[in-house]
Amino acid sequence: MFEAVAHVDQYLAVIDIGSNSVRLVVFSGLRRVPDTIFNEKMMCGLGAEVGATGRMGKDAIKLAISTLKRFKALCDQMEVKHIHALATAAVRDAKNGPAFVRQVKRECGLEITIIDGTEEGRYSAHGVLSGEPRATGLMGDLGGGSLELAQMKDGQVLNTVSLPIGPLRLMSKFGTNRQNIRRYLRQQFAGIDWLPQCTGQNLYMVGGAWRNIAKLMMREKSNPLPILHGYRSSRREFTDYCRRLSRLRPQDIPFGGSLTEARREVLPVASIIMAEVLAAIRAKAAVVSTYGLREGFLFDMLDEDAKAMDPFLFTCHVLSAERCRFPEHSETIYQWTRPLFHRKTADPEHRDKLHHAICLLGDIAWRGHPDFRAEKAVETVLHGHFVGLSHRDRAYLAVALNQAYGAAIDAPHVAHILPLLNISELLEARMMGAALRLAQRLSGGAVTALTVSRLRLSKSKLYLGVPRAYKDITNDVVLKRLTQLSQLMGRRPVIEFPKDLKAPS
């Protein structure tokens, strides 16, 4: 099911020609979660003058043409088989958009596809859903010239709308007059009849400006995990932060020096837009998605079986096949640990997914130095390129793998992310890690010991049952690891030899 590559040796490029930037991303192929081979953008500002003059500026066009020539040359050198050049608000709305398309074809050898607003919203929403299949709420993709909104529910896109309210367009229309911008935004949102259906749900944020706002907020908070995808915060916290940013001059934005001047210039207005969208639906929280139009465009090209794959488990299967010694044992280990986890949770399906991932990645650091295997495993899940994971999920996986490799829970490489979990989650993750550690020691890499043994619980004891014929594998090392697991569960360890457990014939 989880094949690593759907179309082998077929690099594929998407060029996103937006109002603010022009970006090239080269992907490893058409697969459920493609690897990014190359990623580069240039801030061309094609939409900077469209709101005021109705045309793209000459200097912006010149820079865009130069950038596209470079991108085409790079694709040729990388032997990219398929190049998809997609243009959004600036090109589709500008009076000189058709002339620009012809010029690009003539000078760069690229065929541009102009995406209308509805299609752009659908692609961006599909990008969010490709990374988080269970996302429900409002997708907002803020570009320089437009804002696309899409209602998502149960893996489907129900409604979309494209609004002419990107920061560049609003700045050309209103300057930096916050009151006039807010009044205009509220008028625009009031005309969307389906928007109230998203009340109280999450806002999934797409687009460079909003991602940069989240990145700056994370830096000001010294967030323990500097990963943008999956970062979430409450409506109140994001709203308060955006209101503050909207009052600042671009050059005075804290940590703004890490951004280009072009990016900083749009942040105050982008902050106003975010605050107003959050208020319009009284959002529960705001969640960052680094997946958007480009990923949604590729997702639409997949067959239905590939779309149905869980993106996180897909990546775990690929990594397990590449880096683990016994990837075929992961399902056996997962089933062997199930008797330990009878406690009801709010989302048992998601917990099971995390436990499957722990079993898949449990051996991922075996090639590392013995003193640093836990650190290597933790770094993989904390900083790896995963989608379909929250920051809390990453912390859960890190704690479990840290335990599986026998490292202390307060070790520096893991201690900083512990506040992301509550005590129940922390203990459960450690239990799963300890169970994996026990399974690995009991089996020695051979799956037979796991197929003939079992775990069971009573109110006060944790039993490891093995056939009497296998008594010799339950030595003091196994008992020690069983004891470590039982202590986390508040029980006493017992090794038993039930008559109903038989050795394979």
* Mean pLDDT, all residues of the chain: 93
Q: What is the pLDDT of residues 31-71, one digit of tens each?
A: 999 999 999 999 999 998 998 899 999 999 999 999 999 99
| Domains 12-114 and 311-496 fall in the same CATH topology | no
Q: What is the pLDDT of residues 186-216, one digit of tens each?
A: 999 999 999 999 999 999 999 999 999 999 9
d(CA 141, CA 133): 17
**Domain 118-293 homologous superfamily, CATH:** Exopolyphosphatase. Domain 2 (3.30.420.150)
Q: Which of 405, 430, 448, 441 is nearest to 486 (CA)?
A: 430
> What's the one-letter identity of residue 296?
G
User: What integer pLDDT is reported at residue 2 of this predicted model?
Assistant: 42
Task: Quote the pTM value.
Answer: 0.90
Instruction: Tokens 């490799």: give the residue.
Output: 405
User: What integer pLDDT is reported at residue 202 of this predicted model?
Assistant: 97
CA dihedral 379, 381, 384, 385 (to 10 degrees): -170
Give the pLDDT band of residue 3 (cuts 50, 70, 90).
very low
pLDDT higher at 179 or 3: 179
E-assigned strand segments in 230-388: 232-234, 285-288
Give the pLDDT band of residue 505 (cuts 50, 70, 90).
low
User: What's the topology of domain 12-114?
Assistant: Nucleotidyltransferase; domain 5 (3.30.420)
User: What integer pLDDT is reported at residue 87 of this predicted model?
Assistant: 96
User: What integer pLDDT is reported at residue 9 of this predicted model?
Assistant: 61
Mean pLDDT across 245-250: 95
pLDDT over threshold 60, residue 441: yes
| Whether 38 contacts 25, CB under 8 Å | yes
Give the pLDDT band of residue 6 (cuts 50, 70, 90).
very low
Domain limits of the chain? 12-114, 118-293, 311-496
pLDDT over threshold 90, residue 493: yes
Mean pLDDT across 426-444: 95
| Whether 283 contacts 235, CB under 8 Å | yes
What is the three-class DSSP state of 267? helix
Determine the distance from the C-alpha atom of residue 156 to the mean position of all C-alpha atoms in its chain, rounded to a whole number.
Answer: 18
Q: What is the pLDDT of residues 311-321, one digit of tens each?
A: 999 999 999 99
- Burial (CB count <10 Å: 0-12, 13-18, 19+), residue 424: exposed
Q: Which residues, in sequence order, are CB contacts of 124 under 8 Å at separation 6+?
A: 139, 141, 148, 150, 206, 292, 293, 296
**To which H or E segment does residue 204 belong?**
strand 202-206
Under CATH, which number does the domain 311-496 receive?
1.10.3210.10
Mean pLDDT across 81-93: 94
